[in-house]
A and B are shown apart, each in its own frame.
Chain A
Amino acid sequence: MTNMIEASGLVKRYKEVTALAGLDLVVPEGVVLGLLGPNGAGKTTAVSILSTLLEPDEGQAMVAGADVRKDPKAVRRLIGLSGQYAAVDEHLTGFENLDMIGRLYHLGKTKSRERARELLEVFDLTEAGDRPVKTYSGGMRRRLDLAGALVAKPPVLFLDEPSSGLDPRSRVDLWDTIRDLVKEGATLLLTTQYLEEADQLADDIVVIDHGHEIAHGTADELKTQVGGERIEVTVADVMHVTPAEEVLAAFAVGDIRIDHHSRGLTAPIAGGAPVLTQALRELDARGIVVQDVGLRRPTLDDVFLSLTGHVAEEEVESNGGRSKKPKEEELEEVSR
């Protein structure tokens, strides 16, 4: 498999802060890489460098075989970029926006128009296609922006926080769209501060903080790295709590927590579902009636917390920070 994105030692300094402190990234063809990090971690800077918007102070980057420093124009022909806020012209219609982008990719008049109609169809914007974008909802704008990135069917896509500012439903719809896109074989670099989003979409995740990588792996690998897998059992009869504890003790890798009041037992384990199955069989063999059972795995939030020592996103959401443009938050973070 060839690597469609290869960056090594990327450094970008602003006056007082270092936005990127030596970042390496490798994305093989057809892979979705999630670049995960809190505000100000350097995600947008990384994407800006790879999409030729920004020159790195140090380091090299190749995108689809072209050097971002030496041949930025070749890179631009091979990439599609969709940013944090929908970069579409609100006075133009959806069709005019896509047609304009096609013309600027030099697809020619006929092909640009065809492609614009085709994409409006794919993104469920056919009806709204001839209306000015200012009449669109946030989700529609975001879809149009994403469509803009796909006009030239580029082999490499950069999506910078594609779902920031969307309501949960639009977000789930957008994820479906992105999944379909990837099925067609595009290589995708996706930045996000939503841990769930990386979990849902990315094959491979690089967690960054303060401009450098702090962890790398699949969502599963990252969760395993942190550990914290546990079985949660609720027994039907309070008399069964103690025998159940005896059974679980054989599988537990730590202390079992018992809540007599709710007849619940929580046992930390290692080994995932097979261990759960075995434990259930044992419980059954001892005649213990189980009312509820679950294997609780660590979420990426747990991963994030244990890696960075701070929670990714909750603080932003709880103080109403959503209303601000993500970029402003990021700048604030950087200038601190």
Chain B
Amino acid sequence: MSQLMTALGDGAVVAKRNVIKIKRVPEILVFVLLSPIMFVLLFAFVFGGAIDVATGAPPEVYREFLIAGILAQTVIFGATFTGAGLADDMQKGIIDRFRSLPMARSAVLVGRTSSDVIYNGISVAIMALTGLLVGWAIRTSFLEAALGFGLLLLFAYAFSWVMAYVGLLVPSVEVINNASFMVIFPITFVSNAFVPLETLPAPLQTFAEWNPVSSLTQAVRELFGNIPPGAPEPTAWPLQNPIVYTLIWIIIIMVIFVPISIRQYRRAARR
């Protein structure tokens, strides 16, 4: 028990360090937020007109449909920040210092992923505000909305452990930015985040139906009351039970990536 408390305490010390960095270098936020904001504008006003979410629906319906997808994309992109932060620490030799200290082996990773929840919270808030400006609205209760944001942040937390692992593997920050694009692009675009799944060809549609980004988007859409009226009922199980399916993914990711990331941290040789 006391060992767990020490581990959490150490994690908090590292998290505090990362939060100070967000405070001192707010520019980091700007760059990572610009791309989702651009996506909102691009899809709301450029592609949106060409995408039919329900037969004959006006453009406002697509904008409402879009924001849940953008929010899911934002937290996935946010995880890159975790990986980049760790890769940066490795490069600068700070990880060596941490590894020579009598602190918990999990602390650097726990601290990093925890502080990134704050970072993700800020991103989600800014994206939600952008959404409100383009006509998005929450049509459900406060509780459901809170659950929606909670699920987004929980998924963000789990996914940041995936990127933490990648961050410990790659040799530099530049590489992680490129490597994460290779992962993030297919999983965010081959999903229901931007388009209704019915438009995809069969194999892609199956992938998209079982893609956790789709279930996260679907869950958030339901919780915010943003399912377009007249949209066809989903036929795949993950999208019929999006909250449960997303929670299963969160658990699977954590069970796999927490231990292997910590193991990788122990062995991470200095570069």
Contact = CB atoms under 8 A, between A and B. Distances in A.
A327 B13 contact: no
Interface residues of B, number: 26
Contacts of B103: 104-106
Contacts of A87: 92-94, 96-97
Contacts of A81: 96-97, 100
Nearest to A51: B100
A83 B93 contact: yes
B17 interface: yes
B96 A103 contact: no
A104 B13 contact: yes
Given A100-B13, A100-B16, 15 more contacts: A48-B269, A51-B100, A52-B99, A53-B99, A53-B270, A76-B100, A79-B100, A83-B270, A91-B25, A103-B9, A104-B10, A105-B102, A105-B103, A106-B102, A331-B271
Contacts of A139: none
Contact of A48 (B13, B14, B21, B270): B270
Interface string B72-110: 000000000000000000001110111111110001000
Interface in A68-93: 73, 76-77, 79, 81, 83-92
Interface residues of A, number: 31
Contacts, number: 76
Interface in B5-22: 6, 9-10, 13-14, 16-17, 20-21
A300 interface: no
B100 A52 contact: yes
A80 to B, nearest CB: 8
Contacts of A91: 20-21, 24-25
Given A91-B24, A96-B20, A327-B270, A101 B92 contact: no
A89 B17 contact: yes
29 contacts: A52-B100, A53-B96, A79-B100, A81-B97, A83-B93, A83-B97, A85-B92, A85-B93, A89-B17, A89-B94, A91-B21, A91-B25, A92-B17, A92-B20, A92-B21, A96-B20, A100-B13, A100-B14, A100-B16, A101-B97, A103-B9, A104-B103, A104-B107, A105-B101, A105-B102, A105-B103, A106-B6, A327-B270, A327-B271
Interface string A224-246: 00000000000000000000000
A293 to B, nearest CB: 49
Contacts of B102: 73, 76-77, 104-106
A54 interface: yes
DSSP class of B's interface residues: helix, strand, loop or mixed?
Answer: helix
Contact of B24 (A79, A86, A106, A132): A132
Task: Name, among A53, A79, A86, A105, the residue most crowded by chain B CB atoms within 10 Å (CB to CB).
Answer: A53
Interface of B: 6, 9-10, 13-14, 16-17, 20-21, 24-25, 92-94, 96-103, 107, 269-271
A334 B98 CA distance: 25
A132 B21 CA distance: 10
**Closest CB pairs A-B (n = 10):** A87-B93, A87-B97, A76-B102, A81-B100, A104-B103, A77-B102, A91-B21, A103-B13, A104-B101, A91-B24
A268 interface: no
A317 to B, nearest CB: 23
A148 interface: yes
Contact of B100 (A53, A96, A103): A53
A54 B101 CA distance: 14
A73 B101 CA distance: 8
B228 to A, nearest CB: 44
Nearest to A112: B13
A104 B124 CA distance: 31
Interface in A102-123: 103-106
Given A76-B101, A101-B101, A105-B101, A83 B17 contact: no
Given A91-B24, A104-B103, A54 B94 contact: no
A92 B24 CA distance: 8
Contacts of A327: 270-271
